[in-house]
Amino acid sequence: MEHGVADDKTVLHLTNEKPIIIAHRGFSDEAPENTMAAFHKAISAKAHMIEFDVRLSADDEFVIFHDKKLERTSEGKGLVKKYAAKELTRIDNGSWFSSRFSRERIPLLHNIFALTKHNVTLNIEIKPDVESSNGIPVEEMLVEILAKERMLHRSMISSFNHKMIKRVKHLHHEIAAGIIYNPITNFRRSPSQLAAAARAEFFICSKYQVNHDVVNDVHENGLKIFVYGVSTERDAGRMLRLDVDGIISNNPALVRRAIEVYRR
Ligand code: G3P
Ligand code: MG
């Protein structure tokens, strides 16, 4: 396989559907983002893929959490990377959303692997600023874990940090990888040029950045496009008309309904 070209070896081989429905931070409209509750709800809503964000704890364990700091989405305070994994897993990670979720904790990466028995695939987003304290590059640690857990063909790795993605592909040619478009640093190059530079098969951008030219450039170069920020049926309808390959949404049930309506 030529690098940078999506074929049936990527995570997409696990479903024939297009577009695939990707639950952003789980079903994060209905449960606190990046929690097991949100992931279980995504599976119940029949999302094909779960997107979630990873960072490292002080003792170099992968934890599932979006922000650098704990405040917005947990009862904790300060930087995630200042706490050991054990300490992070004791923090109430759900009350900020609703008292019904007060028992949610910060998941470790390992906690999510068992969910793939429900035929859901994983979109693991490495936050761009993550660095290990043991000197081993974070992308190397991640690929090693996925290989050991036999998750390489059930996962894709994505990041705003395209250097990380390039190193992921260098370490393991077959793992599916996606670059996330950053309008501030990436605007000079086309989606396919950016993807080729990182050897990625997937180009990921927001609903505000996608148009026919972007989709054509991606498809003409044998790549796939996922779009995030899709929050209404109108948004989803636009994505279907644009012929995107994956729709990333906080509400996978809404996306599924929109697809059904569109196909009728
Ligand atoms: O996969 C795209 C999306 O997750 C990127 O933005 O901030 O929600 O992680 P963010
Ligand atoms: Mg993300």
Residue nearest to atom 4 of ligand 1 (CA): 24
For ligand 2, the distance from its centroid to the CA atom of residue 121, given in whole angstroms, is 15
Q: Give the pLDDT score at 6.
A: 53
Substitution site in 21, 53, 156, 249 for ligand 1 pocket (most atoms within 8 Å of beta carbon)? 53
Share of the chain above pLDDT 70, in %: 97
Please give all residues whose CB falls under 5 A of ion ligand 2, grouped by chain where several chains appear.
Answer: 53, 125
Q: Which helix (H) or strand (E) holds 81?
A: none
CB atoms within 10 A of CB 230: 31
Residue nearest to atom 2 of ligand 1 (CA): 228
Q: Is the pLDDT of residue 7 over 70?
A: no
Indicate if ligand 1 lies below 6 Å from the C-beta of 157.
no
Q: What is the pLDDT of residues 56-94, one digit of tens each?
A: 999 999 999 999 999 999 999 999 999 999 999 999 999
User: Sorting pLDDT into bands at 50, 70 and 90, what band is 5?
Assistant: low
Q: What is the pLDDT of residues 133-170, one digit of tens each?
A: 999 999 999 999 999 999 999 999 999 999 999 999 99
In this predicted structure, which of 14-23, 24-33, 213-222 has the lowest mean pLDDT? 14-23
Q: Is the pLDDT of residue 15 over 90?
A: no
Q: Is the pLDDT of residue 244 over 80?
A: yes
Domain 11-263 has CATH 3.20.20.190: yes
CB 35 within 8 Å of CB 101: yes
Q: Is the pLDDT of residue 49 over 90?
A: yes
Q: Is the pLDDT of residue 29 over 50?
A: yes
Q: What is the pLDDT of residues 182-228, one digit of tens each?
A: 998 888 899 999 999 999 999 999 999 999 999 999 999 999 999 99
- The CA distances from residue 142 to 41, 69, 91, 118, 163, in Å, are 25, 21, 24, 22, 15
Which one of the ligands is nearest to 229 CA?
A: 1
User: Sorting pLDDT into bands at 50, 70 and 90, what band is 1?
Assistant: very low
User: How much is the mean pLDDT over the chain?
Assistant: 95
CA–CA dist 241, 245 (Å, integer):
11
Q: Give the pLDDT score at 9.
A: 62
Among residues 91, 86, 55, the alpha carbon closest in space to that of 74 is found at 91
Tokens standing for 261? 């309506």
Q: Is the pLDDT of residue 16 over 90?
A: no
Substitution site in 125, 129, 248 for ligand 1 pocket (most atoms within 8 Å of beta carbon)? 125
Which one of the ligands is nearest to 160 CA?
A: 1
Residue type, 245: D
Q: Give the pLDDT score at 36.
A: 98
CA–CA dist 87, 161 (Å, integer):
28
Indicate if ligand 1 lies below 6 Å from the C-beta of 52.
no
Q: Is the pLDDT of residue 2 over 60?
A: no
For ligand 2, the distance from its centroid to the CA atom of residue 264, given in whole angstroms, is 31
Tell me the whole-structure pTM to 2 decimals: 0.95
Q: Give the pLDDT score at 3.
A: 44
